[in-house]
Amino acid sequence: MLALFIALIFSVGLVLLAEWRAEPRAAAPKAAPAPDLPRITGFSPGDVIELAIDGPLPRPEDLVIEQIGTDAQVSLDGTPTLIIEATQVQSLAVGAIRFRPA
């Protein structure tokens, strides 16, 4: 009976300890992109980036732009393709990136 009482007190103590612990920390920001990706520097709102693509041109929905630190990362079909340095994603207009056949 004493062992059961000790086990109960121990389990209540663990539950209280878990409840009083600090909130989990926010997820760490995304790691810096791979250094071997092509980088564009000096991009300004209103500029246009034209990419030459081998094969069929990608559809607009295949293009994803994510914020990575202070840079914008352009991905095609889920593959990181290009880094636009010191650019906020919100500042990129819809037609800022164009494609042409190579």
Q: What is the pTM of this model?
A: 0.64
φ/ψ of 42, rounded to 5, equals: 75, 20
Tokens of 16: 């209280």
**Per-residue pLDDT at 78:** 86
Beta strands in the chain (DSSP E): 39-40, 49-53, 63-68, 71-76, 79-84, 97-101
**Per-residue pLDDT at 40:** 93
Quick: pLDDT tens for 18-56.
787 766 666 666 655 556 899 999 999 889 999 898 889
Question: What is the rounded CA–CA span in Å between residue 7 and residue 91?
Answer: 59
Q: 76 has which bridge partners?
A: 63, 79
Q: Is 41 helix (H, G, I), strand (E, B) or coil?
A: coil
Tokens of 54: 């081998």
The answer to whether the CB of 54 falls within 8 A of the CB of 97 is: no
